[in-house]
A and B are shown apart, each in its own frame.
Chain A
């Protein structure tokens, strides 16, 4: 075959390939690019869990872009902003974030983000999606900041009702709360449960609310009061250092009152701070989200997919679950908005409308969250609320109960 013949053959093949390609049905390509602003704390009080949480939510965005986004013709870009968990820092960063990214949604972290942006976001018409449970002080209608979980007080009330059922009997369940005035969010967690206990004296007997520092010097005396009052459970939704100090205080008193923790200070984090999960044998974590236990659940399977196919490096624990949950309900709402309005011209306002328009099913969040129906009345779903309960058995985290009903908690 001569050089000319080879060239001619190549040209013929290339032309043929182009012709075949032209006749094939066009696969949708990602054409629209939208931005998400991720508020993160890599150097403040939650710096220890942030890389894991961030890993979870970022892996979901990658997964969504490569699966759903490609078909819809949308790519979601994201950028992390360091807030140091400081409301002042968030407030000062926000104008820059807005002008740099023009985001269609903000992916928030905690109380300072809510405090700093609750007045700004309605003006800027950009919704913010949180990972955590909600706060009583942010329980307002027409919200622009949303939580997939009800307030911490809802979650603890659900847990306590479940504990009372497990115990049996008609007597109210005796409980103490350990909180801190270091953060308005910590106080809020206690206030909501206090009100619930006041209104349900036949169910809950709140023996004491103890306020302490975020790194307590010694809680032996306080725990002695709790023991003497006959508390059957201790609610600690603040941080791991308080869990550790309370545990030591209980141990000093020779008592073993079960502690209920939340997601951000849950069993793995508090166990690590105590020197081993076995020290929390019989204690609980409870929240309206999948429990990251060894059991094979849809949530666990989706996590494995993220690890094997989308480069997620975070371990299977509650913090990763929090990040993945947050990412999943955020992309689901955006997907609903795209399906309703088309890929072009998506705005924060349309994303928020989609949140109210359609239920986010538990299947869409791969079992990480219960089905979520948002209404303009509150920043979190008000009906069908559920809490899951995890515990430590034989040194391992196991699922103790799923889909526990959360009672109605009045606004405080």
Chain B
């Protein structure tokens, strides 16, 4: 029983990590209605920035972490200014296609700049797990889970309670209308990309702490996709619940079904849940239902 509860807790924490990466999707979507297919690549860009500042530049974690977040924000800003600003007012589809191009471009850039070698990622969170009786909880996931919840609460408040957040929502509704109302569309979208890049970098730190870094790490973007779609692409708070549900389902499948069937059903389960919920409720659990009046 203890192990079963432990598996649920670990699963929930892994789900919260997915939720944090998915937050990057949601923040950018809420500000621009653009689904960023390159979210996983933002995670590895963030990972490489952290690796560079710690392992290469030799900075202490106290210096390198804030510096990495600033640099990641600048990368997000640069991406938005270079590739997306010119598309403001154009169809959302064009912007989404740009993110598909970004996925390939960023992957190539990582290979070009950092090379293909597998690198040791710095140990940011203690490797020693937390023991609660017979239960064992990985520290990186535990701290990551707390960060995710704090980030979700903070961002929910920002988007729902502040003028800036509400402006970003207006931008997502219609660029031209928002612009005519005096809202800076460019500024809102740029801010969303900065935020998305920072969240991805935090995700990279939790995901990769003490492990290895290659461009394969970008796969976590796909792992986070079911969480984002399950929650509904507009709901930051919903990500927490969606992440926990998917993480627990995945953990239980991995630990109890996979050994029986001799396969990896655990890695497919999140997508099965996602498809099931989209069939029942296409907007996701907490996504907005758009009512159009003619």
Taking Cβ atoms with an 8 Å cutoff, the residues of B that contact A are 3, 6-7, 10, 14, 17, 108, 111, 115-120, 127-129, 136, 138, 141, 207, 210-212, 214, 216-217, 219-220, 223, 251, 254-255, 258-259, 262-264, 267
**Contact pick for B214, options A48, A220, A224, A275, CB 8 Å:** A48
Q: Nearest B residue to A265 by beta-carbon distance? A: B118
Known: A213-B267, A240-B118, A252-B127. A273 touches B219 (CB 8 A): no
Q: Give the CA-CA distance A208 to B118 in the complex, in Å.
A: 27
User: Does A81 have its Cβ within 8 Å of any Cβ on chain B?
Assistant: no
**Contact pick for A221, options B7, B127, B128, B211, CB 8 Å:** B7
Contacts of A248 in B (CB 8 A): 127, 210-211
Could you tell me if B10 and A222 are in contact, using CB atoms closer than 8 angstroms? no
Could you tell me if B212 and A273 are in contact, using CB atoms closer than 8 angstroms? yes
Nearest chain A CB to B130 CB, angstrom units:
10
Could you tell me if B259 and A217 are in contact, using CB atoms closer than 8 angstroms? no
Contacts of A241 in B (CB 8 A): 118, 211-212, 214, 216
User: Does A92 have its Cβ within 8 Å of any Cβ on chain B?
Assistant: no
Could you tell me if A209 and B262 are in contact, using CB atoms closer than 8 angstroms? yes
Q: Give the CA-CA distance A274 to B10 in the complex, in Å.
A: 23
- A-B CB pair tally, cutoff 8 Å: 100
Q: List 16 A-B contacts (CB under 8 A).
A: A43-B108, A45-B216, A180-B264, A181-B263, A181-B264, A208-B259, A214-B219, A215-B212, A215-B214, A220-B10, A221-B255, A244-B120, A251-B127, A252-B127, A272-B117, A273-B119
Contacts of A253 in B (CB 8 A): 136
User: Does A93 have its Cβ within 8 Å of any Cβ on chain B?
Assistant: no
Could you tell me if B211 and A252 are in contact, using CB atoms closer than 8 angstroms? no
Q: Give the CA-CA distance A181 to B117 in the complex, in Å.
A: 22
Nearest chain A CB to B282 CB, angstrom units:
28
Q: Give the CA-CA distance A210 to B256 in the complex, in Å.
A: 11
User: Does A63 have its Cβ within 8 Å of any Cβ on chain B?
Assistant: no
Known: A224-B3, A248-B127, A275-B120. A218 touches B255 (CB 8 A): no
Contacts of B3 in A (CB 8 A): 224
Contacts of A220 in B (CB 8 A): 10, 129, 136, 138
Instruction: Count chain B CB atoms within 10 A of each CB in A217, A225, A239, A240 and give the residue with the most.
Output: A217
Q: Give the CA-CA distance A285 to B145 in the complex, in Å.
A: 36
User: Does A47 have its Cβ within 8 Å of any Cβ on chain B?
Assistant: yes
- 238-294 of chain A: CB within 8 A of chain B: 239-241, 244-245, 248, 251-253, 269, 272-276
